[in-house]
Chains A and B, each alone.
Chain A
Amino acid sequence: MRDARFVPEGGMGMNNHLALDPRHSIVVEACAGSGKTWLLVSRIVRLLLAEVKPGEILAITFTRKAAQEMQARLHEWLHLLAVGDDATIRGFLRERGLDAIDDALLEKARGLYRDFLLAQPGITISTFHGWFMQIIQRAPLNAGVPVGMSLLERTTALREEAWQAFADSLRAAPESAAAQSMQWLFARYGLHSTRALLENFVHKRAEWWAYTATLSPGPSPASGRGEHESAGEGAVDWALEQLRDELDVDANADPAVDWGHDNNKEMLFKFTTQLACNGTGPQQAKASELEQAWTDSKPDERFSRLWPLLFTLKDEPRIGSPFKPTTKQQEDAFILPRDALQASLLAVHDALTEQEALRMNAAALRCGAALLEHYQELKLRAQQMDFTDLEWQVCRVLNQGECAEYMQYKLDSRYRHVLLDEFQDTNPLQWQILQSWFAAAAAVESRPTVFVVGDPKQSIYRFRRADARLFGEVREFLQHEFNAHFLTQNITRRNSPAVLNAVNGVFRSLPDGFVDFEEHAAHQSELPGHVEVLPLAVMEKPEPAEIADAFLTLRNPLTEPRAEAASGARELEAEQFATQVADLVANWSIQEEGVGLRRAEYRDIMVLVRKRTHLRVYEHALRMRHIPFLTSRRGGLLDTLEAEDIQALLTFLITPFADLELAQALRSPLFACSDDDLMQLAQDAEGGWWMRLQRCALNGSASAGLMRAHTLLQSWLSLADKLPVHDLLDRIYFEGDLAHRYAAALPAELRETVHANLQAFMEIALNVDAGRYPSLPRFLAELRELRAAENEAPDEGKVGKIDNALRIYTVHESKGLEAPIVWLLDANDTQRQTDSYGVLLDWPSNAPQPLHFSLYTDKRGRGARRAHYFKAEEEYAKREEMNLLYVAMTRAKQALLVSGSGEADDASWHGRIAAALAPHDNPLRVAASVITFPVAENRAITGSDALQFAIPTGKRTAHSTTEQRRGTWLHALLQHLAPPNTISDRSQLQARCGIPADAMDALWQQAQHLLAQAHLQRYFDPRHYRAACNEIPYIDARGELKRIDRLVEFDNEVWVLDYKTGESADPAQLMEYRDAMRAIYAGKEVRCALLFMDGTLDEIQ
């Protein structure tokens, strides 16, 4: 990535002069690999050079990772400017569109590094959410933003809770409107789909609020509580009103009944006459069936009787025979009345569908709003908000004119330059927010410059509500309002010409949804490349097995495993894939910058799939060949066997009767007990397994493995409720020698991954412990929740820089990544999963709010009135599909390999790329001896180094006894009660000495009593001595610091008093005091005594 950049002036690149000129607002549409980050960061450098303060710059990008990379790049460059020689700096600046480079500019460039690093406030390079968080924390107090909220990153558990709470509320009021609606939905769609529908509604709540906002400008619809209930209801009513108008539904009419009236009789009979006339037997029969259906039924039943006769189950008109004119019949005369009849029925059917749609919306919106309220309420109670709330709240705040303005003042940073990266991934609400921000900035007369980079071709985040169409809108807006310049860039630094040929070949023809496409050119025109589309894997249809086999022979499960069920085309493809990967690593070479030609390695290969569904198959093939790979499997870390092992062990530690968990722990590499061990325990039929293990450990029948397990488990059991989870886990990892044992048990290609996963698990525990109110049961419950929450599961451990493994990603995950070799798997699959049961939206990107919002169910319930929305959606989805392909292809630096299975399909990715390809040689298949990655050896554990042994250091002090504590307190009391500087206020004294209230009384009495004793007055009553002081520190010749409890000076002698409050007296200590004081009070006699708490004064001679 480091050197990817826009081609400097003079090449075919675009105008960097203009793009980087800090005075202009700029919109850049730039293709993949063209160095957008380079451009953006360069622009920041130019801003800084133009005396812009870091705090005046706001750069927003799509992921935290991108933000971090940007920041790192910026630091690197500024560092370069600070330390580079003149020529370097000049070169650097010239590349970034600066020509007149005088000394002053050089000087300035050099100073940027320090100014930037130490600037206050610093630059803001962030994601939208990061920036929103900053805003919301500073939101005006009166903006109705709940104060003191924290960000909720995982919502699954809370959504589940909301769902339960909603269900409970329905149970409590089974007659309520919501409960009735719910009942209706259940009956129509079942539990699963109903929930999916309502959850989707909740998911789209920002849009819902935006849609209904004009109607309910209440303080904060998002805070959902009590009084908003009516507002929520109002919103539903309003939305239904809109929908009713749009669907043109008359709630009181029943079109089916209306249809059955006599006015349609003629139409029917006109057709039946044609049907019967010259008709075949079946036609005549059908004709009379139709007529009967009319005459035999009451008007309100006629429609429903006739409909199935004239329409298929899929609601298609029946036009085949017998409803097809035969040669004996006159075509027009037959078809016209048929079509008229069917059209009239269809109209009724459509009207009914719309009615149904409206009814569904009425029920589902009502329930959805109620569910939403529960969800919001729960978050409010926990003082949390999620990303959507955050976005909405920010939008709301900034839409309140005065608040928006106030925010301009309130943030310490005042942005004068806004840079937006990956703009195609922005959603309408985010754009709304930016617009409000700009407007407010303009109102306080500091309109920023805006710099936008993006690539609508790479917009693939529709499911996160991003809308690529915004790009065009925004471009126009900025051109118009900010006089922005629009630039395009289609030269890439990343891809080889071979890869680009394929990209150009596919997109030149403007596939689905593309309206223009500019051919890409390669900057590295010499980079060898290769694109290969492998033949589709197809499966010979297996002979249908002879079912009526006279002789049934059944498989013996002990000796013969069952054949894997779906040994199909996909498995063949996977085979093909794994074989080729092995070949590739053996025989291909790639070009690495700074290294030159070298052997291809596993880590050079990035494998892309569109969805994870079939990953298992491909992984299996890799594993069979021992090819190391990393994958982001659904389910993630917690579903890996090693993480399950740890969870099982922890579960056992708090529920010792969990036998299966114990058995799993025993079988895991941690204890690596054999099945013989398990069977031994199983044979002892009494009590739980833990008890049995204890028994066999005691009676000496346990194997070494079981003994070890017993010892360790015993000790962990006793710690499980005392140690924090992380500390407990650390004990387990350490005492169980976990890392080494897993490494020994696992095949080499899994080691790194498993090791990383074990660490990642530890990190989760560490984080949980840092949270509030940790406990082991809670930790395990949290893990269960995490596991249940599909998309929110924690990542598997990411291995550091050093691993040589092939990586498998979904195309979505691959965004922003690149690799020398990219393999596109399963590329012949054209099935797209569309959401049934969801929210239908029409939110034109420049509109402040959606123009349409309704819910839909399965295909049949969608109706005609909303068809154009569905169509638009579908087209957009197709376009996104092509965008995905674009992203996938452009990840490849040198080679792109495509494979798939099944019947050839021109519209599939496989088909499209194959069509765009001309045969050529593979220049990568050349030998190179350079290997940068040595094959990983199992780490040898070498002996003798001192760092492999414990160094006992430090000690734990014993918990002080009550007696000791009392002693300390009494000591402290005396110190403060004895003059000088007596503290006489009892409560102050108590606080000062940290004495608990219940202990104070007795101690106080004792101290007072002691000080009042007559024979001690000489030492405690100022009238008797010249001077005294308490707690007097001195240092002796050896540099040791000592403290004397009380030193009393008389005219000719000095007394050293040592309070004895329990511990045994040490006369030697006192002698030391005396010697020291003799040195100080030369000429005076120094005497010393122990003062016991009963008043005894014991002089030491």
Chain B
Amino acid sequence: MTQTTATVFFGNIARAILAQHAPPDLRRAIVLLPNHHVVQPLAQALARTANLPALLLPQMLTLNEWTQSIPLAGAIVPDTCRAATLYQALRARRWFQDADLWGIARELLALLDELTQHRVALPQNEADFLAQLEAAYQARRNVAMQFEARVVHELWYAMNASGELDAARAQQQRLAQLAQQADAPLYVLVASSLAMPEVRFLEAYAERAPVTIFDLREMGAQQHAVPDAALRAPHRHLREQATHLREHHPHAALTTRLRLFGAHGLEQEAHAAEVQVRRWLLAGKKNIAIVAQDRLVARRVRALLERAEVLVSDETGWTLSTLSVSTLLMRWLDALQSDFYHQDLLDLLKSPFIFADQNPGERKQVVYQLEQLVRKHGVASHLQAFLDLAQGEAGMQTALVRLRQAAEVLGKSSTTLSGWLHALNASLSILGVVQGLAADAAGAQLLQALQTWQQELAADPTRFSRTEWRHWLAQQLDANTFSDKSIDSPVRLTSLAATRWRSFDAVLLLGADATHLPGTDNGSMWFNDAVRATLGLPTREAHLARQRDDLLALLAMNDTVLATWQESKCGEPNLLSPYLEMLRALHELAYGDDLAERELGALLQSAHVRSADSALPDAAAMPTPSVPQSLIPQRISASGYNSLVACPYQYYARHMLRLNELDEVREGVEKRDYGEWVHAILHRFHQRFPLLDAHAGKVLDEALHSISNEVFAPAVKHDYLARAWLLRWQQAIPAYLDAQLKSEAEGWHYQNGEVPFELPLTPELMLHGRIDRVDARDRASKVLDYKMMDALRLHNKLKEPGEDVQLACYAHVYEADEAAFISIEKDKVIQIAPPHDLPQLAQANIARLTAVFAQIRDGAAMPAHGVDEACAYCEMRGLCRKAEWA
């Protein structure tokens, strides 16, 4: 078997260590590793090289692990406390209006830590600091810069004055101590330039004990030749470089080691990655890394792999704020803040983590019941309103009462952070959330975090308002991550930085485009690179160099790498990572291979794992159900009839299947409310004033206004905008009175309003409904229907006989001689009658209705052939599926 590149590297290191330390006891040596995954291959290399039955291994650890083992003189002030102190300092200084002080505090802390780590001491004098900045910015002094200098300077001193031990300082102390105590030989594995604090430490250590550094960048020239030439060499001339490579490293081609796949869009990239991983698995690879530069694609890949029952273990973490356990927390606070706005409330109650002491089935039942009530009665918020709604429903009552109790616990307006956390925890206990979270890995970690913060902050006396606290909490949830350790798999999701010195059977580099590789940090809000360089802080350059080195290390350590990226995104071009682009160019020039992965694309079409083998559906076509007797209604209203005429299938869905849209909680006044109210107003009005003629205009006007005000009052009280609707109606009042008087002058008298009726047409069919109004003149009668619609539209409705059946049906019921819509618009009120002979029209419509019903009973089909106008607002379009018929 040929050795992998990585084995060669580790073999070299093992030989170097064994040359200094006699086996089998290597315990005196200390090896600093970039991460603990490297322990295994290095130990194995040592065993192989030493070739003994057993070896006591050197101390192999990361620098962090090592420093953590050094005891400290004092306790470390946790960052939560420092942030609170800093916030308080910022708040007191009133420098930033309207700003998110937590955000600023966070950025400042990061800066202060960096200053500590890099042992930057600011000059005592603010003016000196300013001068320093001025020089670094190469700028003239100005107010903005002065302010920046002042903020940093003042707070640096304020925070340092306390002399407290923070994490950065502690680390410094520990490193110093380690270097002081140095006695064992130290071996260090590095893949890129060390950060300043580490360099200092190693220098100090080397004064007392030998330090050997294994730098991946300098090992294995062969494996590095091309990538190194492409990315690290200072040489600018690609063609010469290519020639040189070809001559000196004829075998260095990456052809078998690295491939690039450009995808069209996210789904294709994810699919390609997933298929490649499965190909590797099929080829017997045991240890596969997915290096996720683009988390979104990674998530998609993971889901696709799970389809093929390939589980992925995840070394990277998920920000707490993106987890559903945190959603619950925030939704609870949202609900409190919005006085239990129904969406927040229902969302909260639908979380599986609440009321965990209850049977989940019951809990869900309660929520659904509540939701149905809320939708039906349109209750938008207020806990009390929900409680009223749930009268007599024990399950709901209990749930809501628990919410109330929990809310009371969090009722204060200001307290300390730990006070808030304490209250939060208490409220969560009441809600059975603690129990729910504890049963979930992420939830348990969240609870743990809340508890830790509460303890850390126990002594902090600063008081915060509820809003400030919420911001704090949100920031904490953003800043902390959860990693899911529950999956053990040969396929692992990891990050570029975590691959240092690791080798895998195969590596998939996901999202290798220019945006994600190198990834940009947004930079700190303080200073710029020039200033940071002057102060001795790391610059963006260093950040990028590290990523480049990590990429080079990855390519050096691994013999099979596929990098994928989206060549186009939503039809826009998307560039490959400049590193890989450079590499590709050089490689193509030197070895005539552009590294493109060409097989994969062709495979994708057919490489889907499918779950189902159930028969595929037939091509969609217009449905034409014929309906069994038991579903044929015995009653029909005018609007039902209208629907039947417009589209039999629509009628079928509405009245035979009896399907309805869900009620929505409406928060503002809508047109249909307006219609209802106007109906109610006119009904009341005419009950009081059947004949207008008998009254003075002013009396009528006032009466109608006052009735209107009464009817609108509840809405107006609730919603300012209802006034607009009221005004709109009020503007129609004079026109309405005019029209009514005119109608009276023609001899028509109001007779009755809101008349319900039920009229058997056949033994099996009853016509039912409610007539807005009936007028009489001598023996004659006229049915009327109010419509808040312009006259033209109503005209059109009535133009074709039998297409709008409402008036015809009413006329039939009342044996009316005339029928009309009353079109009510702003300053225009007109009656519109059908342009046909009414008795005949009524007769024809009823005859057709009974005939059609007879046909339906005989099994006639109900075709879905509404015209576009009917379909435009038809809620049944998802059932008839008109859009997909061939």
- Asked if B867 and A117 make an inter-chain contact with CB atoms under 8 angstroms apart, the answer reads no
Known: A939-B605, A951-B310. A552 touches B568 (CB 8 A): no
Known contacts A383-B100, A406-B144, A641-B877, then 11 further A-B pairs from the complex at CB < 8 Å, ordered by chain A residue? A556-B848, A645-B878, A679-B627, A740-B610, A741-B616, A772-B322, A773-B322, A996-B448, A1032-B27, A1035-B46, A1041-B40
Closest chain-A Cβ to B361's Cβ sits at a distance in Å of 10
Contact with A along B864-881 (1 / 0, CB 8 A): 011111100001011101
From known contacts A140-B144, A762-B267, infer whether A1034 and B54 are also in contact, taking CB-CB under 8 Å.
yes
The distance in angstroms between the C-alpha atoms of A620 and B883, with both chains bound, is 10
| CB of A562 within 8 Å of the partner chain | yes
Do A766 and B848 touch across chains, with their CB atoms under 8 A apart?
A: no
B54 in complex: contacting residue of A168, A747, A775, A1076, CB < 8 Å: A1076
Most chain B CB within 10 A, of A137, A552, A741, A939, is at A552
Stretch at the interface among B252-260, B481-489, B695-703: B481-489
Is B724 among interface residues, defined by CB-CB distance under 8 A?
Answer: yes
B613-629: which have CB < 8 Å to A?
Answer: 614, 616-620, 623, 625, 627-628
Provide the residues of chain A in CB contact with B138, threshold 8 Å: 409
B572 at the interface (CB under 8 A from A): yes
Given A952-B309, A996-B451, A191:B572 Cβ within 8 A: no
Q: Which residue of B278, B321, B522 contacts A951 across the interface (Cβ within 8 Å)?
A: B278
B238 engages A558 (CB within 8 Å): no
Write the chain A residue with the least CB distance to B659. A660
State which of A105-113, A257-265, A419-427, A831-839 sits at the interface with chain B: A105-113
| Closest residue on chain A to residue B100 by CB atoms | A148
Kindly supply a per-residue 1/0 record for chain B positions 37-74, scoring 1 wherever the CB is within 8 Å of any chain A CB and 0 otherwise.
00110011011100011111100100000001101100
Cβ B612 vs Cβ A737 within 8 A? yes
Q: How far is the CA of A923 from the CA of B503 in the complex (A)?
A: 63
* With contact pairs A115-B236, A547-B835 given, residues A721 and B619 touching in the complex (Cβ less than 8 Å): no
B145 and A955: CB pair below 8 A? no
Beta-carbon contact of B575 and A72 below 8 Å: yes
Determine if B98 and A167 form an interchain contact, defined as CB atoms under 8 angstroms apart: no
List the B side residues contacting A164 at CB < 8 Å: 667-668
From B279, B530, B541, B883, residue with most partner A Cβ within 10 Å: B883
Contact pattern, A 706-720, Cβ under 8 Å of B = 1, otherwise 0: 001000000000000
> For window 797-820 of chain A, which residues contact chain B by CB distance below 8 Å?
798, 800-802
The answer to whether B57 and A1033 touch across the interface, beta carbons within 8 angstroms, is yes
Known: A141-B144, A704-B614. A745 touches B275 (CB 8 A): no
Chain B: number of interface residues, binned into ranges: 35 or more
**Chain B residues near A754 (CB, 8 Å)?**
884
C-alpha spacing A239/B586, complex, angstroms = 64
Q: A68-B573, A679-B628, A954-B488 are in contact. Are A778 and B347 (CB under 8 A)?
A: yes
Contact in complex: B237, A660 (CB < 8 Å): no
Binds A, one of B191-199, B391-399, B783-791, B852-860: B852-860
The listed residue (A183, A558, A660) touching B660 by CB distance below 8 A is A660
- A963 interface residue per 8 A CB criterion: no
Asked if B350 is an interface residue, CB under 8 A from chain A, the answer is yes
| Closest B residue by C-beta to A955 | B488
Which residues 263-315 of B have a CB within 8 angstroms of A?
A: 264-268, 275, 278-279, 281-282, 295-296, 299-300, 303-304, 306-313
B222 to chain A, nearest CB (A): 22
Known: A555-B802, A667-B881, A981-B69. A737 touches B610 (CB 8 A): yes
Chain A residue numbers with a CB within 8 Å of B72 are: 985, 988
Interface residues of A in 403-428 (CB under 8 A from B): 403, 405-406, 408-412
A79 sits at the interface (CB 8 A): yes
- Selected from A120, A137, A564, A773, the residue in CB contact (under 8 A) with B868 is A564
Chain A 177-203 interface mask (CB, 8 Å, partner B; 1/0): 001001100110011001000000000
A730 at the interface (CB under 8 A from B): yes
Residues A167 and B877 in contact, CB atoms below 8 Å apart: no
- Assembled-state Cα–Cα distance A682/B139 (Å): 79
Q: Which residue of chain A is the closest to B327 with respect to CB atoms? A: A773
Does residue A82 face the partner (Cβ distance < 8 Å to B)?
yes
Known: A741-B617, A770-B322. A554 touches B142 (CB 8 A): no
Q: A405-B142, A775-B347 are in contact. Are A769 and B56 (CB under 8 A)?
A: no
Asked if A148 and B266 make an inter-chain contact with CB atoms under 8 angstroms apart, the answer reads no
Chain A residue contacts of B540, Cβ below 8 A: 120-121, 412
Q: Which residue of B lies closest to A772 (CB)?
A: B321
Judge whether B836 is part of the interface by a CB distance below 8 angstroms: yes
Q: Who on chain B is nearest to A673 by CB?
A: B617
- In the bound complex, do residue A191 and residue B324 qualify as a contact, i.e. CB atoms below 8 Å apart? no
Chain B residues with CB under 8 Å of A795's CB are: 570
A659 at the interface (CB under 8 A from B): yes
Contact among A179, A683, A953 for B489, CB-based, below 8 A: A953
Interface status of A759 (Cβ within 8 A of chain B): yes
Q: How far is the CB of B302 from chain A (nearest CB, A)?
A: 9
Taking a contact as CB atoms under 8 Å apart, the answer to whether B330 and A773 are in contact is: yes
Judge whether B656 is part of the interface by a CB distance below 8 angstroms.
Answer: yes
Q: What residues of B have a CB within 8 angstroms of the CB of A142 in the complex? A: 95, 143-144, 147-148
B528 within 8 A of A: yes
Q: A772-B322, A1041-B39 are in contact. Are A69 and B573 (CB under 8 A)?
A: yes
Q: Does any Cβ of A come within 8 Å of B158's Cβ?
A: no
* CB-nearest residue of chain A to B455: A997
Other-chain contact of A167, B52, B53, B528, B720 (Cβ < 8 Å): B720
- B516 to nearest A CB, angstroms? 14
B144 and A143 form a contact (CB under 8 A): yes
B676 CB within 8 Å of chain A: no
Given A660-B875, A951-B282, A953-B310: A79 and B585 interface contact (C-beta under 8 Å): yes
Q: Within B311-365, which residues are at the interface with A (CB < 8 Å)?
A: 311-313, 321-322, 324, 326-327, 330-331, 343, 346-347, 350-352
Among B95, B327, B603, B728, which residue has the most Cβ atoms of chain A within 10 A?
B327
Report Cα–Cα, A659/B661, bound state, in Å.
Answer: 8
A140–B148 CB distance below 8 A: yes
Asked whether any CB of chain A lies closer than 8 Å to the CB of B89, the reply is: no
Q: Is A114 part of the contact surface with B, judged by Cβ < 8 Å?
A: yes
Closest chain B CB from A731 CB (angstroms): 8
Q: Which of A117, A641, A775, A959 contacts B351 (CB 8 A)?
A: A775
User: Which residues of chain A come closer than 8 Å to B608, judged between CB atoms?
Assistant: 739, 941, 948
Does B721 sit at the interface, judged by CB under 8 A? yes
User: A110–B529 Cα gap in the complex (Å)?
Assistant: 29
Q: Can you name 10 A-B residue pairings with CB atoms under 8 Å?
A: A138-B523, A141-B95, A142-B148, A171-B719, A402-B144, A660-B875, A769-B299, A951-B282, A952-B309, A1039-B47
Q: Which residues of B contact A1034 (CB under 8 A)?
A: 54-57
Give the segment of A279-287, A605-613, A648-656, A852-860 that binds chain B.
A648-656
The answer to whether B151 touches A141 (Cβ under 8 A) is yes
B644 touches A (CB below 8 Å): yes
In the docked arrangement, what's the CA distance between A946 and B238, Å?
Answer: 42
Are B657 and A678 touching (Cβ within 8 A)? yes
Which residues of chain B are within 8 angstroms of A644 by Cβ–Cβ distance? Answer: 877-878
Asked whether B720 lies within 8 Å of A174 as measured between CB atoms, the reply is: yes
CA distance A351 to B373 in the complex (A): 57
Counting CB contacts under 8 A, is A320 at the interface? no
State whether A553 touches B616 (Cβ < 8 A).
Answer: no
Q: How far is the CB of B526 from the nearest CB of chain A, in Å?
A: 9
| A683 touching B144, Cβ below 8 Å | no
Whether the pair B618, A147 counts as a contact (CB closer than 8 A) is no
Cβ < 8 Å to A, chain B residues 514-556: 522-523, 525, 528-530, 540-541, 544
Q: For A402, what are the chain B residues with a Cβ–Cβ distance below 8 Å?
A: 142-144
Question: How far, in whole Å, are A225 and B862 apart by their CA atoms in the complex?
Answer: 60
Contact A775 B625, beta carbon cutoff 8 Å: no
- State which residues 271-311 of A face B: CB under 8 Å: none
Q: Which residues of chain A have C-beta atoms less than 8 A from B103's C-beta?
A: 147-148, 383
Closest chain B residue to A146, Cβ basis? B98
- Min CB–CB distance A1033 → chain B (angstroms): 4
Instruction: List which A104-141 residues lie within 8 A (CB) of chain B.
Output: 107, 110-111, 113-115, 117-118, 120-121, 137-138, 140-141
Q: A796 vs B581: C-alpha distance in the bound complex, in angstroms?
A: 31
